[in-house]
Amino acid sequence: MARENYFATLEIPFLRGRNFTAQDDARAPQVAIVNQTFAREFFPNDDVLGKRITFRYNKRTVEIIGVVADAKYESQRKNITPLLYTPWRQEGEEIGKMHFTLRTVGEPTALTATAKQVVRELDSNLPVTEVRSQTARSQATLGRERLSARLLSFFGGLALLLAAIGLSGVLAYSVSQRTNEIGIRMALGAQTTKVLRMVIWQGMKLVLLGLTSGAAIGYGMKRILAGQSFERGTWQARIAEQLYGVSVTDPLTVTVIALLLIVVGLVACWIPVKGLYRHSSTDI
């Protein structure tokens, strides 16, 4: 249920139709406002304005008079669900717990005492159980997300560093084992740049193999998780939560990750090759 100024207070854009008014009371025709998802899901090929909806639990029928933009209320991760708003004056005995939203100019929490006093003046028996700003509510729901993002970023960076060190070590060992071969190639007239490209390509093949394998595994996981709902707490559900809003086939995501890994791989390959280049330059 909502009051006449509910959408303006929360700055939810009105798309079509009209808003609730003070005349939408118990004596007026029963009306409702829906969000975009509701209109798209239940009336995909028809105009939702003027349509009538009947509630199963009380056989009450309402007419849809407006459409507003989609909004998220509980969690940023949850998908937007179809919503139907009704005017609070027409709810009658259905009204239970209510939430009041205030739009302020300054610090919202500074008006906490004033808001409680206004409620007490209206009805001293009404308990005010919680007063929080929208910013605080958003921060509370995002706290776990940000902690997970920081931890994943830290361990991801650590894994990338260890992979670069391992690749550099493997390539350095390979160069040391092929010293005689490289020396013979250069003695027979092989150019230094060609020898360096040969060594770097040896390491970059491992990087490209890892990119290909990772992309294939990621695409496979996406196909497994797509369109499925898993029981909360299972490993499938945890993976699906971490992949929220991220597509394995997104061109920008794939390009950025591939370029990052290639740059790190080139740096890791250049470290042992740089010693070979200096050594060859000194011999010459």
- Reported as a single tens digit per residue, the pLDDT across 119-160 is 888 888 878 877 888 777 777 777 777 787 888 889 988 988
SS3 129: coil
Give the pLDDT of residue 48: 92
CA distances from 102 to 113, 114, 128 (A): 13, 11, 14
What is the average pLDDT across 199-213? 83
Supply the mean pLDDT for the chain: 79
Specify the long-range contacts of residues 194-202, CB closer than 8 Å, at least 24 apart.
Answer: 195/276, 195/280, 196/273, 196/276, 196/277, 199/171, 199/174, 199/175, 199/269, 199/272, 199/273, 199/276, 200/266, 200/269, 200/270, 200/273, 202/171, 202/174, 202/269
282 pLDDT above the threshold of 50:
no
Q: What is the DSSP letter of 108?
A: G
- Please calculate the CA angle 113-118-120 and round it to the nearest 5 degrees: 95
- Quick one: pLDDT band at residue 275, thresholds 50, 70, 90? low
What phi and psi values does residue 162 have, to the nearest 5 degrees? Answer: -65, -40
Classify each residue of 68-86 as buried b or exposed e, where b means 16 or more C-beta atoms within 10 Å of its C-beta.
bebeeeeeeeeeeeeeebb
Higher pLDDT, 63 or 121: 63
pTM higher than 0.85? no
d(CA 222, CA 224): 5
Give the pLDDT of residue 50: 92
Backbone dihedral region of 186: left (phi > 0), alpha (psi from -120 to 50 degrees) or beta?
alpha
154 alpha carbon, distance to own chain's centre: 18
Give the pLDDT of residue 76: 67
Which of 83-87, 200-204, 230-234, 245-249 has the least mean pLDDT? 230-234
What is the average pLDDT across 105-119? 82
User: Mind giving me the DSSP string for 58-85?
Assistant: T--EEEEEEEE-----S-SSSPP---EE
Q: At what angle do helices 192-225 and 134-177 cross, to 10 degrees?
A: 140
- For residue 180, give the H/E element and its range: helix 179-187
| CB-CB contact of 83 with 38 (8 Å) | yes
Which of 70-84, 136-150, 207-221, 243-257 has the least mean pLDDT? 243-257
- Quick one: pLDDT band at residue 63, thresholds 50, 70, 90? very high
